[in-house]
Amino acid sequence: MNMLNKLNPLKDGQGGGSEEAPPPPYDLAALGESARIKAEEVAGSSFNVRTGPNYPKNGHKAPSADSLFQLVSVDVFRTDQCALHLAERISLPPPLQSAGGLVVPQLLLVTVAVPQEAPGLFSGSQDNRPTLTAAYTFHLTRAAQEDAASASPSAAAQLLARYYARAMSDQEVKKTFKMIGRARNFDSLRFPGWMKRFNGKPVIIHQSGEVFAGSRDGVRYLEEDVLVGRWSLWAKQGVHVLMPRYKEIDAEIGFVLQGTDDDELPETMLGGARLPFVDVSTFPELPVAAVPLS
Kindly report, residue by residue over 41-59, the tens digit of the pLDDT: 999 999 999 999 999 999 9
Please tell me the least confidently modeled range out of 26-40, 153-167, 168-182.
26-40
Q: What is the pLDDT of residue 83?
A: 94
> What is d(CA 198, CA 221) in angstroms, rounded to the nearest whole number?
30
Q: What is the pLDDT of residue 293?
A: 54
Please tell me the least confidently modeled range out of 166-170, 197-201, 267-271.
197-201
Q: What is the pLDDT of residue 21?
A: 53
| % of the chain with per-residue pLDDT over 70 | 90
59-103 pLDDT, tens digit per residue, is 999 999 999 999 999 999 999 999 999 999 898 999 998 889 999
Question: Could you tell me which of 71, 82, 88 has the C-alpha nearest to residue 132?
Answer: 82
171-197 pLDDT, tens digit per residue, is 999 999 999 999 999 999 999 888 899
202-242 pLDDT, tens digit per residue, is 999 999 999 999 999 999 999 999 999 999 998 998 898 88
Q: What is the pLDDT of residue 29?
A: 86
The better pLDDT of the pair 44, 243 is held by 44
If you average pLDDT over every residue of the chain, what do you get?
Answer: 90
Q: What is the pLDDT of residue 15?
A: 45
Whether the predicted pLDDT of 292 surpasses 60: no
| % of the chain with per-residue pLDDT over 90 | 76
Q: What is the pLDDT of residue 33?
A: 87
> What is d(CA 55, CA 52) in angstroms, rounded to the nearest whole number?
5
Q: What is the pLDDT of residue 24?
A: 59
Q: What is the pLDDT of residue 4?
A: 41
Contacts for 220 with CB less than 8 Å, ≥ 6 apart: 12, 103, 104, 105, 106, 107, 164, 213, 214
